[in-house]
Amino acid sequence: MLFLARMDVTFPESMSAETKADFQAREKEYSSDLQRRGVMKGIWRIVGEYANHSIFDVDGHDELHAILSGFPMFAHMKVRVTPLATHPNAITDDFFTSAEDRA
């Protein structure tokens, strides 16, 4: 199943630069692993904001929840999830085809 997630990050103003840098490094490691495993199909910045859109290919809602809540910055995120379905006018692109559809 494919899901689009918008993640907005807001750190407390009192957070030190060192703590923020640690969060960012752990976040990069976590998301890189998800991308290598094909769980996170892509990640895009939202221009001018500390936010991103990511596409996830997972077996269901519970798996997605576990993945999202595993992000090191999760406590500082507002996450909005949109389930995606194939559009009848879409030209097949394996990048956006779910594992379920490829089986």
**Where do the H-state alpha helices sit in the chain?**
17-36, 61-69, 99-102
CA 88-53-60 angle, to 5 degrees, is: 65
pLDDT band at 93 (very low <50, low <70, confident <90, very high): low
Distance of CA 8 to the CA centre of its chain: 11
CA distance 3 to 81: 7
In a 3-state reduction of DSSP, which class is residue 22?
Answer: helix
Q: Give the pLDDT of residue 87.
A: 83
Q: Give the pLDDT of residue 67.
A: 98
What's the mean per-residue pLDDT of the chain? 91
Whole-model pTM: value is: 0.85
Least-confidence region, from 26-30, 33-37, 82-86, 89-93: 89-93
Instruction: For domain 2-102, give the fold.
Output: Alpha-Beta Plaits (3.30.70)
